[in-house]
Structure 1
């Protein structure tokens, strides 16, 4: 099958899916926006898929939401590329790239899959993300209604897309993949103290992550330390508003000696850091998937997570971890203490988490689930072509 992936696929998710689909024998080409004049017009990766950056707009790295002004030109470039190299299916990620992908694919009568890694209206409502524009929501509604198939990161986002007018029977939940060969039970373990170690991971330290509630909860978990992983580089933590606010809370609750901020940690170092934890906590008000949760499970680490969004799908309560319906310091502290004080339970949850992560969220499994969607679309297209006019 000839597959065109369209989107900000320079990130780990894009590389993982492209590589896994290629390993299953598909001819995969990744189309993304050119961000540097130094990029070649095309190259083949070691994993076997082809990357074709297309010139559209200013050659500079930008957040996907900010690339909208370039998408008209990007759609024209896609249209030209597919005139001579028509794919069997087009799979777009993110709303800005989805607009360009649908415009070009419709011109060539190619079925489209639109992935909603996150739904803007849900993020704005559940995470208090005022910066997410109404324009994005309007365009996401159009994409949801017009794509041949739609995938969402969690069941809650599916409900929102139904409200957009998308038939439930023409979409599916497609979780994001994790590298279950890097994130494993066996391997190096980062240095740690004799205290129990609690970890929370957030690429960006934002208020909706509810790390402040977890810090307050640590007052009720006296024999444990908390590692706050993420944010700016360690050298920039003192100038970071949210990091400073969290530190002040730690001081006010008399746990500052047991709360440590690592700053940004290189991806290669994360498995060892995960393996050093006794429990990972994700108290966020909302995450469409929650990659660190599944990475911790893959390392055999039990999870305490808020009972929202993607965590409801990934964490099996009382099996791979604990889901907390009401995220308060009291509830978080109670859940963390329950996990830490029962060594046998903790190890059992870790083993169950590893089994679930490797069977459900490895890139090979995600690629197989994606392939099922593609096959369904191609079969439907072939049937429609055979119908008499």
Structure 2
């Protein structure tokens, strides 16, 4: 069986969970002998079976969404001869959808996020958000199968696209490679970034985007004990406006307390693992999170996890076992915005304070998280489930 996987992100150009998912899925499928051809955005790759596609020169000055469609169209002819095409995120959905129509083979979509659930992207894309929303809707409705990375995401898909047949929406979780992500004890790494090994710490890892909830976290940690360090591995802002907001909140924190560490560059895995391993608790304050690979990464490194009780997070973080969940009541407009932002900030601060106050219990959460990541989220299991779905849709199309 030949499968063409289409993705915007692929090594070495990865900035989010969808790219991690695509790379690990490809590796695991190839490990069991599947013929996988990767179609990725960007410059040529030095990897057999993988091709990079750049923005056509004629679209150099076009809206970013139109540039995306140009890249997608340049991939379509090359997908002739495949048995299944599998696209990841709206950036790649158009390529998969058009190639499916042209070549008469099934298209599988993995939903890592949903455009209707991220209306703030209009800040980033302008009119391109209407284009991305149209592409996603069209691709989902035309797909042979849609993979949701959590049951929470499946519910969001069916709510966002009510004409979809529920039987073609399948839950297959994201995974984690626990050999690559594991506890790393290295005080030299901590010293390099100004993190004190003998002080409790709260660690955040994520892009600076509305859905990740970083401004709520920065307001919550202002009330934590003065000896607690705040370590932010945060970059790649969606817009200048949210970057300015975050920078202002960080400046406010630094004016009242020390131990506020902000690392804006993307770190090598070993360094990030060392920071996660050192954490008293990792925190995921997302207001929209289909699953959250970053939570699995933290768990695999032995960190307790405090996460918002939204989306797929409760399917990863077992409250009172691998960490704690923070309650949230959200506006029903797709944004995930808390109905009462101050109440959410207060609850986030309270739960963090409770975890930080009992380091022995936090360590127990971390050990349980490592065990859960190892036993329930292996890429071998996920690749087997995905390949079985490929075989099912390919057989149905014959």
Check whether TM > 0.5: yes
Choose 1-10 or 273-282, whichever is displaced more.
Answer: 1-10
> Is the 2:93–2:135 contact (alpha carbons within 8 Å) kept by the matching residues of 1?
no
Counterpart-to-counterpart distance in 2, 1:110 and 1:16: 24
Residues 215 and 98 of structure 1: CA distance in aligned 2, closer, same or farther (over 3 Å):
closer
Question: 5+ unaligned residues in a row in structure 2: which ranges?
Answer: 15-19, 191-195, 329-342
Q: In structure 1, what is the equivalent of residue 33 of structure 2?
A: 25
Structure with larger Rg: 1
Which string of whole-angstrom CA distances, capped at 9 and with x for unpartnered residues, describes residues 188-245 of structure 1?
35432422111111232x4553333333333233431111112269xxx9x9523421
Counterpart-to-counterpart distance in 2, 1:373 and 1:119: 21
What's the offset of the Cα at 1:271? 0.7
Q: In structure 2, what is the equivalent of residue 355 of structure 1?
A: 371
Counterpart-to-counterpart distance in 2, 1:298 and 1:157: 22
Is 1:295 equivalent to 2:297 in the alignment? yes
Aligned residues: 358
Counterpart-to-counterpart distance in 2, 1:9 and 1:128: 18
Is 1:198 equivalent to 2:199 in the alignment? no
SS in 2 for 1:14: helix
> Is the 1:216–1:249 contact (alpha carbons within 8 Å) kept by the matching residues of 2?
no
> Is the 2:212–2:285 contact (alpha carbons within 8 Å) kept by the matching residues of 1?
yes
Residues 305 and 136 of structure 1: CA distance in aligned 2, closer, same or farther (over 3 Å):
same
Counterpart-to-counterpart distance in 2, 1:216 and 1:100: 41
Residues 128 and 312 of structure 1: CA distance in aligned 2, closer, same or farther (over 3 Å):
farther
What's the offset of the Cα at 1:148? 0.4
Q: In structure 2, what is the equivalent of residue 314 of structure 1?
A: 316
> Given the alignment, which residue of 146, 153, 166 partners 1:150?
146
Choose 64-73 or 105-114, whichever is displaced more.
Answer: 64-73
Q: In structure 2, what is the equivalent of residue 171 of structure 1?
A: 169
Choose 172-181 or 97-106, whichever is displaced more.
Answer: 172-181
SS in 2 for 1:230: strand
Mapping for residues 173-188 of structure 1, pairs under 5 Å: 173-188=171-186
What's the offset of the Cα at 1:314? 1.5
Q: In structure 2, what is the equivalent of residue 140 of structure 1?
A: 136
Q: In structure 1, what is the equivalent of residue 331 of structure 2?
A: none
> Is the 1:128–1:208 contact (alpha carbons within 8 Å) kept by the matching residues of 2?
no
What's the offset of the Cα at 1:104? 1.8
What's the offset of the Cα at 1:187? 4.8
Counterpart-to-counterpart distance in 1, 2:23 and 2:276: 22
Residues 207 and 245 of structure 1: CA distance in aligned 2, closer, same or farther (over 3 Å):
farther
> Is the 1:320–1:352 contact (alpha carbons within 8 Å) kept by the matching residues of 2?
yes
Q: In structure 1, what is the equivalent of residue 22 of structure 2?
A: 14
Residues 141 and 300 of structure 1: CA distance in aligned 2, closer, same or farther (over 3 Å):
same
Q: In structure 2, what is the equivalent of residue 280 of structure 1?
A: 282
What's the offset of the Cα at 1:321? 1.0
What's the offset of the Cα at 1:27? 0.9
> Is the 2:300–2:373 contact (alpha carbons within 8 Å) kept by the matching residues of 1?
yes
> Is the 2:174–2:382 contact (alpha carbons within 8 Å) kept by the matching residues of 1?
yes
> Given the alignment, which residue of 236, 248, 251 partners 1:248?
251
Residues 282 and 169 of structure 1: CA distance in aligned 2, closer, same or farther (over 3 Å):
same
What's the offset of the Cα at 1:308? 1.1
Which string of whole-angstrom CA distances, capped at 9 and with x for unpartnered residues, describes residues 148-207 of structure 1?
000123333322322312122111233333332221135535432422111111232x45
Counterpart-to-counterpart distance in 2, 1:66 and 1:286: 26
Q: In structure 2, what is the equivalent of residue 161 of structure 1?
A: 157
Residues 329 and 73 of structure 1: CA distance in aligned 2, closer, same or farther (over 3 Å):
closer
